Amino acid sequence: MTNVDPVLDQVAALGIDCEVMPCDPALADTADFCAAYGIDPADSANAILVAGKARAGEPRPFALCLVLATHRLDVNGAVRQRLGSRKASFAGADETAALTGMQIGGVTPFGLPHGSGVPIWIDGEVMARDRVVVGGGSRDRKLLLPPAGLLALPGAEAVEDLAKPIPPTDA
């Protein structure tokens, strides 16, 4: 019996130079992961499923967005416009799991179910990094790879100004 892993199988099939980083599932959320494993948040990209408001008789539009942990996804601006929707929001945990087959904290653009048809939008700032950490498909691992590998995914495109830097807070 062979072990099927859609995430790692797709990474290998695309020939992406990738390091699998084991992760304590309790530390899978970005801030906890970066602090525990010494990763600069500017080198960590979150995969966030967003949903637009459905138009009458049409399915609800979705997109999987990748943004650096140091940035905030522009849901009400760039994302809403690209979805062609009057309103857009973050998909909930149940909706994310149903569409991607993954739990929040492990969502990745790799290994999405066949036929999901979800476009993958990568913020331009992600593409400016040398290497980024993304979810590994489960909460017990992350993937470290060059951002160019993300563009090898079907339906993936780099989008300038998809996210805005989070202003620093005074400590």
Assign residue 42 the CATH number of its domain: 3.90.960.10
Residues 11-51: tens digit of each pLDDT = 999 999 999 999 999 999 999 999 999 999 999 999 999 99
In a domain, 171, yes or no: no
In a domain, 134, yes or no: yes
Length of the chain: 171
Which pLDDT belongs to residue 4?
84
Burial of 56 (0-12, 13-18, 19+ CB in 10 A): exposed
Residue 134 belongs to domain spanning: 8-160
In a domain, 23, yes or no: yes
In a domain, 87, yes or no: yes
The count of domains in the chain is 1
CA distance to 21, 25, 31, per residue, from 35 (Å): 15, 14, 6
**What is the reported pTM?**
0.93
Residues 73-114: tens digit of each pLDDT = 999 999 999 999 999 999 999 999 999 999 998 999 999 987
Q: Are 95 and 107 in contact (CB under 8 A)?
A: no
* Sequence-distant (≥ 6) Cβ neighbours of residue 131 within 8 angstroms: 43, 144, 145, 146, 147
What residues pair up with 141 in beta bridges, in sequence order?
22
In a domain, 101, yes or no: yes
| Cα(21)–Cα(148) distance, integer angstroms | 19
In a domain, 45, yes or no: yes
Q: DSSP 3-state assignment of 144?
A: strand
In a domain, 169, yes or no: no
Q: Are 47 and 135 in contact (CB under 8 A)?
A: yes
In a domain, 165, yes or no: no
